[in-house]
Structure 1
Amino acid sequence: MAVSDDASSMNSDDLSLRFGPAYRWLVTLTVMTGTMALGLASSMVNVAVPSVIGAYGIGLDQAQWMATGFLGTMAAVMLVSAWLIEVLGQRITFTVTMAMFGFGSLLSATAPNFDILILGRVLQGAATGVGYPLAMFCLFSVFPPERRGTALGINGLISVLSPTFGPVAGGIAIDAISWRFLFLLPLPFCTVALLLGLIFLPGKKLVKPLPTFDWIGLGLAFLVLFGIFSGLASGPRMGWNDNTIVMRLLGSAVLVVVFIIWELRAPYPLLDLSLFRSRQFCLTMLSSFIFGAGFYASIYFIPVFVQTIQNYSATRAGLLLATSGVVMLLFFPIGGRVTDSVSAHIPIAVGLLIFSIGYFLIQAADVNTAFWVMVVYLAVNRVGLSLAIPALSAAALRAVPIEKLARGTSSSNFFLTMGGGFGVALLTAFFELRTRFHSEAIVSTQTPANKTTLELLGGVQNLLAGTGMSDLAQA
């Protein structure tokens, strides 16, 4: 039988009969190839921030939209993934997701201006928000309950490997070719995954009438995220008293209240707020938000710091992130075992403490901090993260009824990713404020009485004089 024979109508049982015992591994290969593409896009772009700033002549407050636009869209769209799978089925959802991701990558690679680049990143974020939950759904559909631990292990391995080695591949692409080529690196994985999805994933006839979905809640979520992120990003540049900034932040606060009221009354809420009646679930979501903010802010700002302050190449910055990824790869299984052995609040508390110690060490870094010292600082931070994340997932799932397990999982992913976007936006605002403070402090000292400045200018003048430049040019 040819692969194309009524493929779109074949369900998982038909495909399993066609391909035999190897079918579950063919599905695994399909979704893991797609997950690899998504993981590369979420991590490798951070080493390109200084290059993009130089290419478009923008500031860090605008460049951060490459991260916050991606993460904010990813967080919101994650809440839509279950509905899309139910309506469209695995094959259509997967292939459309890969096509959208590929188009977003091409758009970013060829962007004539920064706005088009951000549009491409938003499309990538939307595809990633659907793709990650979809990958887990596809694996669970082909593995029996007693083998799903294997599926979780494979998915976890790819989810860690791609962000680990993505920055290195991205750094090499930037140094050897161009920052634009970086956006093309995931395309081979994306193309292969799309073709495999057309062959191996089961189809489904369109459900009529369509299941109810909370589109109003989704729209409110997007408005809240955009208002907060744009307000924090533009505040230092436009001024916190600027009417636009005040309206964005106050409007977001009002919309949060409206969102909560709507979700409490909606027949099919986007975010099931009844789960938050559990104190354990509330604390777990808060912890997920904090860890997401710290983790994503670090993988965004550390490459910027080492490239702009310590003059690292993009490849060297990628290697720095890769070493921290290897630490997570080693300690995640340990974190899982610890979670199985003791109450979840213990590894969460210990992980948060170690995570904070790592940040305390990182904040002491300066222009003279050695590469391997930075590696140690990041390693300490990632050990704490590796201990806490498995415990957070376990605590969240233990706190919800079995019939609401899927909603609990989507809520946990939503708060982790939303925390990431918030962390990047908040740290960007802090960075801009401190940069302006120090710039003004330096300017205030530049007077004719400043001997250090006069000596520096004299030295520069002597250097220029040695080049044969005219006095007018030197001035």
Structure 2
Amino acid sequence: MSSQAGPAAPGAVTDKLDRDVLKVAVVVVAGAIMAILDVTVVNVAMQKLMLQFNTSFDTIQWIATGYMLALATVIPITGWAADRFGTKRLYLLAIAFFLIGSMLAGMAWNVESLIAFRIVQGFGGGMLMPAGMTMLTRAAGPQRIGRVMSVISVPMLLGPVCGPILGGWLVDAVSWRWIFYINVPIGAIAILLALKLLPKDSPEPSQRFDFPGLLMVSPGLAALIFGVSRIPEAGGVTHLAVWLPGLAGVLLLVGFVLRSVRIANPLLDMNLFRNKAFSMSMLTMAVFFIGMMGSMLLLPTYLQVVRGESALQSGLLIAPQALGVMITMPRAGKLADRMGPRKLVLPGVVVMVLGMIPFTMVTADTSFWVLLPGLFVIGLGMGLTMVPVMSAALQQLELKDMAKASTATNILQQTAGAVGSAVMSIILAALLAGKFGVPTSQGQIAATVATLNPATHDAAASMASDAFATTFVWALVLMAASIIPAFFLPKKGPAAAAPAPAPGEDTAPPVVVH
């Protein structure tokens, strides 16, 4: 086996990322930047797109929701496809899908075509990160999972910060179409780098694919996320458009679990949850992602609705969070490999909670000299927590189990992030609706209109800031709750660097998706 397909040769095992691994990392990061930025640059253009296509906000939201659903449905198939067709081929195919979707989205002529083309983008984006991380971790080996997580998690966490800045500038200074066209040059570079730097690989014999399982888990996830995403628009969970798809999704997922424990080679191996380290890591990750993604949604909305900042200004004000992430994240991966995840995740969550406290008392004129240091502290905690909590789910498993484990990890991340954003949106919408005496679905619109009116600005900003402060309290509670399962994470890092696997041994590595 070549040095590119596993850990360094026996007798020369090292915990450093060598030149071959760094080549793969360059390619993976190039693709990750394109895919992750696209998730957030669209958010700042929603208002512009709503006016451009003369449609309602609940319709234009499907530009983001459709992309998210496409991501969730394609994740389960990527591990099998990587073995069946080869990771390099799959990676190039994913970039091609993403670029085609980007170009078509930039040329969209109505809102329906834009939503459809975003779904095409989502299919490419859903395969892009898993295929890239498969190549990267296969080259690095299991003993360096923390380090490769650090490499790929930088664009994962910086995307929500850099995306609004780039998107706001493109919308204001160029055209909304360029939030999609910008992917074309980045994607072209990623393809050239992939062709030049990625080692050749060959399709490997793969186990029979669980198509019945796919037909249960993918529609189940899609239906569940669809139902959750409709709660703010419907005004509650009792609406037919919420509970019917939500119930259908839950039934499909329960059926999938019950079937998976009775068959050989299921799409997702439920037996992995018998491993305490894996199950506790997954629980910690779920709670953490719900709180983290929910809190990341709130701040730019507060800045725009209450403080009257533009999309670009809001993005710039979030920059201290990126600085905090950049300081701690590169060190977190190395420390996670050496010290064990628990010793990093627990203080990381505490740091994030401390940084969140000023936002739970936010007002209409809270000084930015109070909020910006809080953001910096939150960033420190995010960088300290994100990599260890992801790698903890994989470090204690056998190499042959990593592909299935990382597929489950990907699905959990996507679902928890969507649920976190929806939960915070529901809480905020209900609080704003109560403050302004309107239906739940109209709460944010009423607050925006009232704060833009000079005659009602002061009173409206005060009421809206109260609603945001209460919502930040909920985000803090959810984030702090991840401390409980984190107490059961592994105390120690992975065992000393393992020898290269024997020829023919399953070397499928972990996969991480945004």
TM-score normalised per structure 2: 0.72
Say whether 1:216 aligns with 2:212: yes
The one of 249, 262, 266 equivalent to 2:259 is: 262
Q: Deviations over 1:288-321 (max 9, x none)?
A: 1122223333333432332233221222122133
Say whether 1:104 aligns with 2:101: yes
Deviation at 1:371, TM superposition (A): 3.8
Q: Deviations over 1:30-59 (max 9, x none)?
A: 333222212321332233233334444555
Deviation at 1:168, TM superposition (A): 2.0
Deviation at 1:88, TM superposition (A): 1.7
Matched residue SS, 1:265: coil
Say whether the 8 Å CA contact 2:289–2:420 is kept in structure 1.
yes
Matched residue type, 2:224: I
Residues 174 and 238 of structure 1, relative CA distance in 2, 3 Å threshold: same
Deviation at 1:175, TM superposition (A): 1.7
- Aligned-partner Cα distance in 1 for 2:108–2:345: 42
Deviation at 1:176, TM superposition (A): 0.8
> What's 1:8 paired with?
none
> What's 1:173 paired with?
170
**Which stretch has the larger CA shift, 298-307 or 58-67?**
58-67
Matched residue type, 2:67: F
- Aligned-partner Cα distance in 2 for 1:287–1:86: 29
- Aligned-partner Cα distance in 2 for 1:234–1:377: 32
Matched residue type, 1:101: F
Say whether 1:383 aligns with 2:380: yes
Correspondence list, 1:286-305, <5 A: 286-305=283-302
- Aligned-partner Cα distance in 2 for 1:109–1:268: 41
Say whether the 8 Å CA contact 1:90–1:201 is kept in structure 2.
no
Deviation at 1:416, TM superposition (A): 1.9
Residues 300 and 31 of structure 1, relative CA distance in 2, 3 Å threshold: same
Deviation at 1:193, TM superposition (A): 1.8
Give aligned pairs, total: 426
Residues 90 and 456 of structure 1, relative CA distance in 2, 3 Å threshold: closer
> What's 2:405 paired with?
408
- Aligned-partner Cα distance in 2 for 1:147–1:386: 18
- Which protein is bigger by CA-based radius of gyration? 1
> What's 1:273 paired with?
270
Q: Deviations over 1:326-367 (max 9, x none)?
A: 211111134335535645334323333333344443243343
Residues 396 and 66 of structure 1, relative CA distance in 2, 3 Å threshold: same
- Aligned-partner Cα distance in 2 for 1:385–1:309: 25
Say whether 1:435 aligns with 2:436: no
Q: Deviations over 1:412-462 (max 9, x none)?
A: 2321222111112222233333333233279xxxxxxxxxxxx969xxxxx
The one of 221, 229, 232 equivalent to 2:225 is: 229
- Aligned-partner Cα distance in 2 for 1:431–1:65: 20
Deviation at 1:276, TM superposition (A): 1.0
Say whether the 8 Å CA contact 1:61–1:428 is kept in structure 2.
no
> What's 1:119 paired with?
116
Q: Deviations over 1:180-201 (max 9, x none)?
A: 3222222211022224434554
Gaps of 5+ in 1: 1-11, 14-20, 443-454, 458-475
> What's 1:356 paired with?
353
Matched residue SS, 2:434: helix
Correspondence list, 1:418-433, <5 A: 418-433=415-430
Residues 174 and 424 of structure 1, relative CA distance in 2, 3 Å threshold: same
- Aligned-partner Cα distance in 2 for 1:66–1:221: 23
Say whether 1:33 aligns with 2:16: no
Say whether the 8 Å CA contact 1:355–1:383 is kept in structure 2.
yes
Deviation at 1:139, TM superposition (A): 3.3
Deviation at 1:274, TM superposition (A): 0.6
Deviation at 1:109, TM superposition (A): 2.4
Say whether the 8 Å CA contact 1:280–1:396 is kept in structure 2.
yes
Matched residue SS, 2:86: helix
- Aligned-partner Cα distance in 2 for 1:25–1:336: 15
Deviation at 1:141, TM superposition (A): 5.1
The one of 277, 284, 291 equivalent to 2:281 is: 284
- Aligned-partner Cα distance in 1 for 2:372–2:81: 41
Matched residue SS, 2:307: coil
Matched residue type, 1:419: A
Matched residue type, 1:132: M
Matched residue type, 1:432: A
Matched residue SS, 1:179: coil
Gaps of 5+ in 2: 6-17, 440-453, 457-514
Q: Deviations over 1:139-159 (max 9, x none)?
A: 345568898887665444454
> What's 1:5 paired with?
none
Residues 179 and 296 of structure 1, relative CA distance in 2, 3 Å threshold: farther
Residues 143 and 276 of structure 1, relative CA distance in 2, 3 Å threshold: closer
Say whether 1:78 aligns with 2:75: yes
Say whether 1:311 aligns with 2:308: yes
- Aligned-partner Cα distance in 1 for 2:437–2:160: 38
Say whether the 8 Å CA contact 1:50–1:307 is kept in structure 2.
no
Residues 365 and 63 of structure 1, relative CA distance in 2, 3 Å threshold: farther
> What's 1:184 paired with?
181
- Aligned-partner Cα distance in 1 for 2:289–2:296: 11
Say whether the 8 Å CA contact 2:73–2:222 is kept in structure 1.
no
> What's 1:461 paired with?
none
Say whether the 8 Å CA contact 2:146–2:387 is kept in structure 1.
no
Say whether the 8 Å CA contact 2:153–2:387 is kept in structure 1.
no
- Aligned-partner Cα distance in 1 for 2:339–2:141: 28
**Which stretch has the larger CA shift, 233-242 or 55-64?**
55-64
**Which stretch has the larger CA shift, 142-151 or 383-392?**
142-151
Say whether the 8 Å CA contact 1:73–1:222 is kept in structure 2.
no
**Which stretch has the larger CA shift, 261-270 or 334-343?**
334-343
User: % of aligned pairs identical?
Assistant: 26
RMSD: 3.4
Say whether the 8 Å CA contact 1:171–1:315 is kept in structure 2.
yes
Deviation at 1:100, TM superposition (A): 0.8
Q: Deviations over 1:240-288 (max 9, x none)?
A: 4333333222222222211211222342222211111133322211211
- Aligned-partner Cα distance in 1 for 2:424–2:413: 16
The one of 243, 247, 257 equivalent to 1:246 is: 243
**Which has a greater percent of helix?**
1
- Aligned-partner Cα distance in 2 for 1:211–1:423: 35
The one of 187, 190, 211 equivalent to 1:193 is: 190
Deviation at 1:80, TM superposition (A): 2.0
- Aligned-partner Cα distance in 1 for 2:361–2:63: 27
Say whether the 8 Å CA contact 1:335–1:386 is kept in structure 2.
yes
Matched residue type, 2:226: S
Matched residue type, 2:80: W
